[in-house]
Structure 1
Amino acid sequence: MARRNLPPLNALRAFEAFGRHGRMTLAADELCVTHGAVSRQIRQLETHLGVALTEGPRSRLRMTEAGLRLAQALSPAFDQIEAAAPRPAPAGPRPLVISCLPTFAMKWLIPRLPRFQAAHPEIPVRVAESNGPFDFREDQIDLAIRIRRTGEPDYPDSIADPFMRHYHGPVMVPSLAGNLADFDSVCAAPRLLTRTYAQSWTDWVRDVGAQSLPPAISEQEFDHYFYMLEAAAAGLGVAVGPWAFVQRDLASGRLVAPLGFTPGQTWIVALTPREGASDRALLFRDWLREEGASTPLPPEAACESRAGR
């Protein structure tokens, strides 16, 4: 059998964590190492490959196009390894399992989880990233978080509790925003898409009341929402991003939204079993309602009603 010619695995792991989080400090926290250690591993990987995977100032480091391609391949590979690795029988109380959209988990849920854990230290929580179908019993899920379009039929065997309105708008790096100040110029710019929500642009155009979506210079599609947002942060083009996903990046200045955000026709909902929901799941659902109600509205949409939260 031919010998594998793989890059250093520790360096790949560090780069994959940086790709998911978009920040060295968050990758370092996940790996329990220093910011400098992650940076050295990524430099080692770039040297081994002979290709630049990151660019920009150290305070706002972003992935190059080659880096984005590699990151998109690494995450599913590591997911497969994690799923295949045998695990010992768990000790202690069974965790509360939350099935959640991957980017929503990364950008909104996980940064808020310490508040739930501080209030309920006796309830361990495990976030299972998924945006597909699920079965509460077979998948051993206590609660699921999904995006639901107004008027859609109920999820089977589930009770849906909307806890946050979906707002969306075009986002980009600050250096692009100076030349993209109106609807037509934003739509004509290089357009970024995600396979998991391919209609993001057409839905946004409908919600702002425009007649049609003008053609773009180019289009580029990514497998996951967070890769599309990282591509926007790398300056590859403009993406339509949900407010809940980009709020932190806007606050840090990585991204800007010159046209603001508009309410969509969807809600983020908490799904619990129609029968047999545990007290812990209902407690977490109530906590989601509180967190959703306390999440600031986009400044441009501050006059919108909070009805239904």
Structure 2
Amino acid sequence: MRQLPPLAAVRAFEAVARTGSVTRAAEELFRTHGAISRHLRLLHEHAGVALFEKDGTGLRLTQAGSEFYVAVRSVFDQLEQAYGRLAQQARGPGLHVACSATFAMRWLVPQLAMFYRAHPDIRIRLSMTSAREMRSEGADLLLAWDLSGYTDADRRRAIALAPVTFAAVCTPQYAKLLPRKRTRIAHEYTSSAWDQWEAKTGRSVARGDTLAFPHTHLCIEAALSGLGVALVEQRLIAREMREGRLVAPFGAVAFDGGLCALPAAGRILPPHADAFIEWLRSSLAGTPLSAPS
């Protein structure tokens, strides 16, 4: 027989420890403040050791509480991920894919209709992440072009999908400015892109101020608004290039690494992942890498 604490009390403890507030935990669990407090007292009595202590008008974890929370958080994370996979399996064949919001909105989602026509029984679940938080979050596959922040083991597991080609783009009017008057539009979390551009081209096309944004689609919108020169993978701006709203007078450069699919560590990929990966390769290869300016 397992010697477990009252699970409802453990759930209340985890919510209070994570949110730092009995009130916020009660709101999250749809319980009253008094009910959460009773759960904490029950857990205290059951364990025989205090897990929280008063800190002004709030609570803080004791040493014993901190150690217990580390274990509880790990178990809850594993349980949440396992249950998510179970629920996904119950819904039928599917694949959980994580990628940047810009890639999802500007390329992947518009292309998914073709995938579904070829594979009507497979459903793709998307988690959209920022470059700052680019991790799988329980996904089967992570799609990314820059794996420099990952471990050597992760990079060895990565599956190559397609080359990536970055263009320095701006409005036609903005391109007429002198380089010293041009503003560089940078991504806050992949600033190495401009370093790689300049190392490969030997050119500095924007020597004025720098504007930084946390998402690629914001960089694109800034360029469209005439705020400066943005460095963007060409697939993401194909429409704006075709329409002439953005131009690439400074050329385009193939970057190192390319777009990759990174399988989740410690898990076997679902059988239908191969079909999605091959579709990605084919579709990415069919997208023109050099849009007309």
TM-score tier by shorter-chain length is 0.5 to 0.7
Question: 2: CA distance between counterparts of 1:124 and 1:96?
Answer: 6
Matches within 5 A, 1:32-51: none
Report the alpha carbon displacement of residue 199 of structure 1 after superposing the two structures with TM.
Answer: 2.5
Contact 1:143-1:271 within 8 A present in 2 as well: yes
Secondary structure of 1:164 counterpart: strand
Partners of 2:114 and 2:227 lie apart in 1 by 35
Partner of 1:252: 243
Cα distance in 2 for partners of 1:291, 1:164 equals 10
Post-superposition offset of 1:176: 1.6
Tell whether 2:234 aligns with 1:243. yes
Counterpart secondary structure, 1:276: coil
Matches within 5 A, 1:184-195: 185-186=178-179, 188-195=181-188
How many Å apart are 1:116 and its aligned residue? 0.4
Deviation of 1:144 (Å):
1.2
Are residue 109 (structure 1) and residue 108 (structure 2) matched?
yes
Quote the offset at 1:94 in angstroms.
5.9
Q: Secondary structure at the match of 1:156?
A: helix
Q: Which residue is 1:283 aligned to?
A: 275
Aligned partner of 2:198 among 197, 200, 205: 205
Encode CA deviations 1:185-222: one digit per residue, 9 max, x unaligned.
Answer: 34640221111212332221111134xx4772322111
3-state DSSP class of the match of 1:279?
coil
- The verdict on how the C-alpha distance between 1:218 and 1:174 changes in structure 2, with shifts beyond 3 A counting, is same
Instruction: Tell me the residue number matched to 2:173.
Output: 175
Matching residue of 1:36: none
Shift in alpha-carbon separation, 1:164–1:188, aligned structure 2, 3 A: farther
Inter-CA distance 232–208: structure 2 relative to 1 (3 Å threshold): same
Distance 1:240-1:214 versus aligned 2 partners, 3 A rule: closer
Q: How far is the alpha carbon of 1:290 from its aligned partner?
A: 0.8
- Answer whether contact 1:186 1:238 (CA < 8 A) is retained: no
RMSD (Å), alpha carbons: 2.8
Q: Specify which structure has the bigger relative contact order, considering alpha-carbon pairs within 8 angstroms and separated by 6 or more residues.
A: 1
Whether contact under 8 Å (1:174, 1:255) holds in the other structure is: yes
CA–CA distance in structure 2, aligned partners of residues 259 and 253 of structure 1: 15
Q: What residue identity is the alignment partner of 1:173?
A: T
Task: Determine if the alignment matches structure 1 residue 263 to structure 2 residue 291.
Answer: no
SS at match of 1:192: strand
- Extract unaligned runs of 5+ from structure 1: 1-88, 301-309
Counterpart secondary structure, 1:166: strand
Structure 1 residues 253, 157: CA separation in 2 closer, same or farther (over 3 Å shift)?
Answer: closer
Task: Report the alpha carbon displacement of residue 153 of structure 1 after superposing the two structures with TM.
Answer: 5.6
Assess, with a 3 A threshold, how the Cα gap between structure 1 residues 171 and 142 changes in structure 2: closer, same or farther: same
Q: Give the equivalent residue in structure 2 for 1:134.
A: 135
Distance 1:269 1:215, change over 3 A: closer
* CA deviation after TM superposition for structure 1 residue 171, in Å: 0.4
Q: What letter matches 1:207 in structure 2?
A: K
SS of equivalent residue, structure 2 residue 238: helix
1:145 aligns with 2:143: yes
Indicate if the aligned counterparts of 1:168 and 1:262 stay in contact, CA closer than 8 A: yes
Letter of the structure 1 residue corresponding to residue 200 of structure 2: D
1:294 to 283, 286, 289: 286
CA, structure 1 residues 214+286, in 2 after alignment: closer, same or farther (shift >3 Å)?
closer
Q: Where in structure 2 are there 5+ consecutive unaligned residues?
A: 1-86
State, as a whole percentage, how many aligned pairs show the same letter.
29
1:148–1:266 contact (8 Å) kept in structure 2: yes
Q: What is the TM-score with the length of structure 2 in the denominator? A: 0.61
Q: In structure 1, the residue corresponding to 2:157 is in which secondary structure?
A: strand
What CA distance in whole angstroms lies between the structure 1 residues aligned with 2:248 and 2:180?
Answer: 13
